Amino acid sequence: MGRAKRLRTKYLANKLSQIRKFLGLSQNELIRAMGLVDVIYQGNVSEYESGERVPPLPVLLRYARVAGVSTDALIDDSIDLPSQFPKPKGRAR
């Protein structure tokens, strides 16, 4: 018996990459801004941005908080990201 194909959003990887680039952060700086230094690594962020892996829900929540957007804006392909993001203010909670 096979497994059903997992549903994925079409634009999530691109949105995650856009957030980091708009904020002017390296992948490691993004990890620090999200407060996830001992949780995820630069390779994880690279895989999220390339679409190789989908980040866990708590990581998506941290992306949204650092970017100042709702999680809907990240996961709903019909919602565009804003044209500007606030600069990160320390750790995301």
pLDDT digits (tens, 9 = 90+) for 36-66: 999 999 999 999 999 999 999 999 999 999 9
User: Comparing 48 with 83, which gets the higher pLDDT?
Assistant: 48
For residue 58, what is the domain's CATH number?
Answer: 1.10.260.40
Is residue 34 situated within a structural domain? yes
Number of domains in the chain: 1
Is residue 92 situated within a structural domain? no
The model carries a pTM of 0.86
Domain that holds residue 56: 12-75
Sequence-ordered list of residues with C-beta below 8 angstroms from that of 36, at least 6 positions apart, any chain: 59, 62
Is residue 1 situated within a structural domain? no
Is residue 41 situated within a structural domain? yes
Tell me the C-alpha to C-alpha distance, in Å, between residue 83 and each of 41, 60, 73, 80. Answer: 27, 19, 12, 9
Is residue 24 situated within a structural domain? yes
